[in-house]
Structure 1
């Protein structure tokens, strides 16, 4: 019986260390790679397009690698071969990024592409380790532990590694690369070669879900009965454009427009992530009590208002010289992180509920497809707005995406509720 098989929370924490290192590196990469590229490329749009490359590789390659790791059989199991190749390679080439940048753009791009490919090789297998080692009834708890460790990784990246960046550009890359390599060693000597619960873990991978939805059922959304569902998914696509664009271009705005130190820019962005981690659980409780869609709609009004205010902070600072501009920006971003928690914590459960129990996998895939597709185009699109209209256009463009998403989510929720397909909300006016 399943409950007689071995299970260890210690192993879950070790597996979580892989997600910790992955999130640590991605968060730092997203914040600082645009600044490094800025040494060679003036256009924010081109830099943003390069930043979208990792998401493109994820959508295209990770489902293939995930499926491959389900089927391969070696002496060290089916996940570890990919982890053995991907994690050390990613660690080495992440460390090499600042050194490549000190030589030439072509070398930086070669190092970057190899790093992105290495991250793609191991991501699906390392995430699949959790369901491989966890019985179904404990996966929610285990997933909570792993996501918490990921959140801690993001905070350390923006607070800790940003401080190191101010000392020497290469230090945070070296430290993060060593974190990744240490996590690899822990995983290699801890995880089971023949995990007890392997078999269904492939269904847990977001990129696999996205790929399946694209190839098997995206056309269904054209049907009239799915009109409300389509509107909800379009809303998710739109607001992720705003979020992913700001995540990738904020440090560019802070350094090039506000003349902040590069390390201070990443540190300041950390307040957004910190607020999200702190308020994720309260936001989830609010969604359970009031309704997922109403809480998301509140967030979709508050967050763009906060973003619109950011370009006016320098004006406020000049009229009130006693105000610390950086501190004020950190407070505003912290408030924005609370609003983002109201939106993002509800989003996946809302979409997973759309199809009822029989279609959870299908709608899970659609959620990841729409959210990841926006992350491919967002950095380049908002970067283009910055090129054409100046740096503050980043926040005006992001705000517009949230406001438009508000109307799509509201309309979609009303349509679904009017058909009595699903009690999406307790109350929508």
Structure 2
């Protein structure tokens, strides 16, 4: 083992991802409800929820490249963590208090929070490759993603419970955990890491931005028609997924009259199922084929979504089971179906161009998936405004059915 490499440091770096996912997951679940105190339109609330994705695509490549070049006494990554993480933690704690004053105070607090998160996101991601030799990066990345997944589950199960006690409590706890992660990182990571290199080009957002003009031009060519259909499928089904992620709690609270804390807790069953079934889904994809498993998921998941608005009626016939428990079971099944789709998607796209174009198609994957995350909450929010709350699930289901058509057509072209 390289004397400069330490799994202990990887777990500390993973604590940064744990806190990052903890905060983001809770923010995505509950910010639409907080905005609902002032804004009735789900489309406007959805547009605000897409702001973080827009900032990420625009600013993170710039910040990542800046952190590659910066040279200070505490290294090139830590200055961004010193600025971003404490400010993000402080303003996250302020969100419920800003919401109690006026909408404009809430929006100012929210924008500062989002900017602070954007400042440190790229540098904290770069810490892993800075401290890890290339042959160990897959293992280290697995550790970090696992800790991020745990953060998401803790947010929806643990912080949601605190939200039911007092709206401010989960923001305080999450903000303090984010600050604790900053302290651990500040006193643990190397100032001059042994494996440091320019990593800005490896960032998802950088690859998305770099692929925009060149990638779109290339995809216009006839020989890339199949590739384009597959990427369009990814863009379309991410509209459904991101919309559900951002607006499910709005549906549960405003339409089902659930407690806000119960809404976030219930959404946690979707995330839990995805974490539990990610590895089995990957193994099945390797055995049965990535596209066939994705197509299976793209049929099952929308059928589950269509059934969700019908659960209150179904509950009249199966009254022995609690309506909320029935919804939680349904969302768990949806999370399994989502694992069949999402686990296969990136490897499928990375394989499209062969070994010589892995980086290029990786960039296109991030471009198409992130672009949908910017617009999806506003699109599905508008459907909810126009056609009532159940339109969230019908719209999401439609996106998966349309994606099925494009993925099947693209796969047929690729195998012809």
Please classify the TM superposition score into its range, dividing by the shorter chain length.
over 0.9
1:117 equivalent among 98, 115, 118: 115
1:303 CA drift (Å): 0.4
Q: Residue 12 of structure 1 contacts residue 130 of structure 1 at CA under 8 Å; is this kept in 2?
A: yes
1:347-426 alignment, distance < 5 Å:
347-418=345-416
What's the counterpart of residue 220 of structure 1? Answer: 218
What's the counterpart of residue 210 of structure 1? Answer: 208
1:5 CA drift (Å): 5.6
1:44-193 alignment, distance < 5 Å:
44-193=42-191
1:204 CA drift (Å): 2.5
CA distance, structure 2, for counterparts of residue 358 and residue 202 of structure 1: 20
What's the counterpart of residue 345 of structure 1? Answer: 343
CA distance, structure 2, for counterparts of residue 131 and residue 318 of structure 1: 54
| CA distances 1:357-381 after superposition (whole Å, capped 9, x unpaired) | 1111111111111001101100010
1:217 CA drift (Å): 2.9
CA distance, structure 1, for counterparts of residue 2 and residue 272 of structure 2: 39
The answer to whether the aligner puts 1:13 opposite 2:11 as a matched pair is yes
Q: Residue 13 of structure 2 contacts residue 127 of structure 2 at CA under 8 Å; is this kept in 1?
A: yes
Q: Residue 131 of structure 1 contacts residue 200 of structure 1 at CA under 8 Å; is this kept in 2?
A: no
| CA distances 1:254-300 after superposition (whole Å, capped 9, x unpaired) | 00000000000000000000000000000010011111111111100
Q: Structure 1: 5+ residue runs without aligned partners? A: 419-429
The answer to whether the aligner puts 1:242 opposite 2:240 as a matched pair is yes
CA distance, structure 2, for counterparts of residue 265 and residue 364 of structure 1: 34
Cα root mean square deviation, aligned = 0.9
Q: Residue 131 of structure 1 contacts residue 204 of structure 1 at CA under 8 Å; is this kept in 2?
A: no
CA distance, structure 1, for counterparts of residue 52 and residue 118 of structure 2: 8
Change beyond 3 A, Cα 1:75–1:271: same
What's the counterpart of residue 326 of structure 1? Answer: 324
Aligned residues: 416
What's the counterpart of residue 425 of structure 1? Answer: none
What's the counterpart of residue 280 of structure 2? Answer: 282
1:197 CA drift (Å): 1.2
Q: Residue 68 of structure 2 contacts residue 198 of structure 2 at CA under 8 Å; is this kept in 1?
A: no
Could you tell me the TM-score, scaled by structure 1's length?
Answer: 0.96
Classify the secondary structure of the residue corresponding to 1:217: helix
CA distance, structure 2, for counterparts of residue 82 and residue 336 of structure 1: 38
What's the counterpart of residue 291 of structure 1? Answer: 289
Q: Structure 2: 5+ residue runs without aligned partners? A: none
Could you tell me the TM-score, scaled by structure 2's length?
Answer: 0.99
CA distance, structure 2, for counterparts of residue 224 and residue 273 of structure 1: 39
CA distance, structure 1, for counterparts of residue 145 and residue 268 of structure 2: 17
CA distance, structure 2, for counterparts of residue 282 and residue 309 of structure 1: 25
1:47 CA drift (Å): 0.3
Q: Residue 160 of structure 2 contacts residue 264 of structure 2 at CA under 8 Å; is this kept in 1?
A: yes
CA distance, structure 1, for counterparts of residue 410 and residue 348 of structure 2: 12
